[in-house]
Amino acid sequence: MQSLLSMNGMDKAFSGVPALRQACLEIAPGEVHALIGQNGAGKSTMIKILTGVYSKDSGDICFDGQDADIASPGQAQKSGIATIYQELNLVPLRSVTENVVMGYEPKRLGMFVNWPEAHRRTREILSRFGIDIDVKAPLGTYSTAIQQLVAIARAVSLNAKLVIMDEPTSSLDDREVEVLFGVVQELKSSGVSVLYVSHFLDELFKICDRVTTMRDGQTVSVRTITETSKLELIADMLGRNVEDIEAAGMTDLGGGEKQLGNVLLETSAIATDQRLFEFNLSVRRGEIVGLGGLLGSGRTEAARALFGVDAVTQGDIRLKGKSWTPTSPAGAIADRIGMLTEDRKAEGIVPDMSVRENMTLALLPKLSRSGRINTTREREIVDEYIAALGIKTSDMDQPIRELSGGNQQKVLLARWLATEPELLILDEPTRGVDVGAKLEIQAIIRQYVDRGFGVVLISSEFEELVEGADRIVVLQDGYSVATLENPGITEDALVKAIAHHHNEEHA
């Protein structure tokens, strides 16, 4: 097979610690090729060498028939390699057009930006995505999903031969994902190759031709997608046999039948000023209640109301049998409620602080006396949760920004578990983490619930809700419209509940 890209024998070490060991990657022209692996497997290092962010220690790279030694991201772009990172690299205060054409602005008289032409080009590119927006408006006025598509539009506009997409669907709803898949197919049909990095394995079977799996800095398998299974890919990533995974029950994380305790939290028709209009929920001790729905259905708004971020303007809430009104996050924490927020980067970690400092942020009032922190007790708690959750860190004082996404998420989960909450609200707890970390986090959640506490679980992955929740409350447009109970919780039932009420709304 003729290759557009060939990376062979790639080695890279940081401070003597190997990140890549003889890793390989081959991509054919017009191929959609997936690159998967757990956090720390070497995927990002491979991409950063290819795009000139890192230099390789050894190995050979051939791109478009020529030996390539790419020294900078700018050189990568000029060579025909465009990259869309998971954390958007855009300028929110600049217009949509400026973000799309930045560095490649059309000129008139050789020196002035031809803005009418720039706007026309931007509208034309966005139309391929089915997007019709005011391209003169600041990008930051649009949703994260629109910003993600604008980043993809910018890459497409560079006439790249290879487009690298790093978790491109993490902020998109189902309709936008389908639009993206259409664009990927369009790129493929026009001869452009796509390197697709995703933790959502189901996506690979919809759009990818082949998949390369990495583990511990090495390439461990290259498979044709039509000749493999999801379970085989998980086995490759974890370094285990398919039979071992099946025997361990790692693909069936549901709670099964169990005895539930008393009602912990109950809401009746609560509303806020943030697009939550009538939300009903009950959570018992020892129960995981999922919140299902499409993007914008009101799931996060419901979580924010329960945690006291947004004021409840109507309705009633009872906590442990008593009337209760969440007035602030601090008040919710004092009443033994915790919340893991959706956006790990923006609302979760403090990147320049250590693992220890990030983990104990919510505990500081309990650890402090007369303005002084009991550092001995603090370090005991951090040691306990590093061990209990299997957090991989050199030591507790390591900056959290240096940890993988999965380990950062475990630190945030430990932050809330350390407060000993009776109710834990989890908004997309496994978003952006690899399969191994996802399984570990799901197991931690189940162990917590089995101790008699309650969980409200929000996930855009229907599979995660079906596997993990004991009940699912379906939301649409700020209203709770249906409740699914076991044993009737299936992906089909969830999709039908959402579709049924959507059709009723638009009948």
Domains of the chain, earliest start first: 5-90+158-248 (3.40.50.300), 255-336+421-507 (3.40.50.300), 347-419 (no CATH)
* Residue whose pair of structure tokens reads 């590119």 in the numeric block: 125
Q: Average the pLDDT over 370-375 and give the result.
A: 86
Two structure tokens written together for 381: 């708690």
* Residue whose pair of structure tokens reads 């790093």 in the numeric block: 166
Predicted pLDDT at 251: 42
Q: Give the whole-number percent of the chain exceeding pLDDT 70.
A: 93
Q: Average the pLDDT over 44-62 and give the result.
A: 93
Tally of residues, the chain:
507
Q: Which of 38-42, 202-206, 221-225, 476-480 has the highest mean pLDDT?
A: 221-225
- Interval 97-119: pLDDT, tens: 998 888 778 888 878 889 999 99
Closest CA to 147 of 198, 80, 94, 106: 94
Beta bridge partners of 353: none
CB 395 within 8 A of CB 356: no
Q: Average the pLDDT over 75-88 and give the result.
A: 81
Predicted pLDDT at 226: 94
What is the residue-averaged pLDDT of the chain? 86
Predicted pLDDT at 88: 62
CB 30 within 8 A of CB 192: yes
Q: Give the whole-number percent of the chain exceeding pLDDT 90.
A: 44
Residue type, 272: T
Q: Average the pLDDT over 374-401 and give the result.
A: 90
Predicted pLDDT at 120: 93
pLDDT at residue 431 is higher than 80: no
Q: How does DSSP classify residue 141?
A: G
CA dihedral of 176, 35, 184, 67, whole degrees rounded to 10: 140
Two structure tokens written together for 150: 């604008």
Q: Which of 32-36, 240-244, 246-250 has the highest mean pLDDT?
A: 32-36
pTM of the model: 0.59
Q: Average the pLDDT over 192-220 and give the result.
A: 91
Two structure tokens written together for 414: 């430990």
Q: Average the pLDDT over 51-57 and give the result.
A: 92
pLDDT at residue 424 is higher than 90: yes
Is residue 506 very low, low, confident or very high in pLDDT (cuts 50, 70, 90)?
A: very low
Q: Where are the beta strands (DSSP E) in 357-476?
A: 368-369, 372-373, 423-427, 454-458, 471-476
CB 480 within 8 A of CB 473: yes
Predicted pLDDT at 392: 86
Q: Which long-range contacts (CB under 8 A, 24 or more apart) does 61-70 make?
A: 61/5, 61/6, 61/7, 61/8, 61/10, 62/3, 62/5, 62/6, 63/4, 63/5, 63/6, 63/162, 64/4, 64/161
Predicted pLDDT at 146: 81
Closest CA to 96 of 142, 135, 132: 135
**Phi/psi of residue 301, nearest 5 degrees:** -60, -40
Predicted pLDDT at 247: 52
pLDDT at residue 296 is higher than 80: no
Which SS3 state, helix, strand or coil, does residue 289 take? strand
C-alpha span between 155 and 164 (Å, rounded): 9
Which SS3 state, helix, strand or coil, does residue 483 take? strand
Predicted pLDDT at 149: 78
Two structure tokens written together for 505: 């709304």
Which SS3 state, helix, strand or coil, does residue 167 take? coil
pLDDT at residue 37 is higher than 90: no
Predicted pLDDT at 24: 97
Least confident stretch, 55-64, 214-223, 319-328, 482-491: 482-491
pLDDT at residue 255 is higher than 70: no
Predicted pLDDT at 8: 96
pLDDT at residue 95 is higher than 80: yes
pLDDT at residue 159 is higher than 90: no
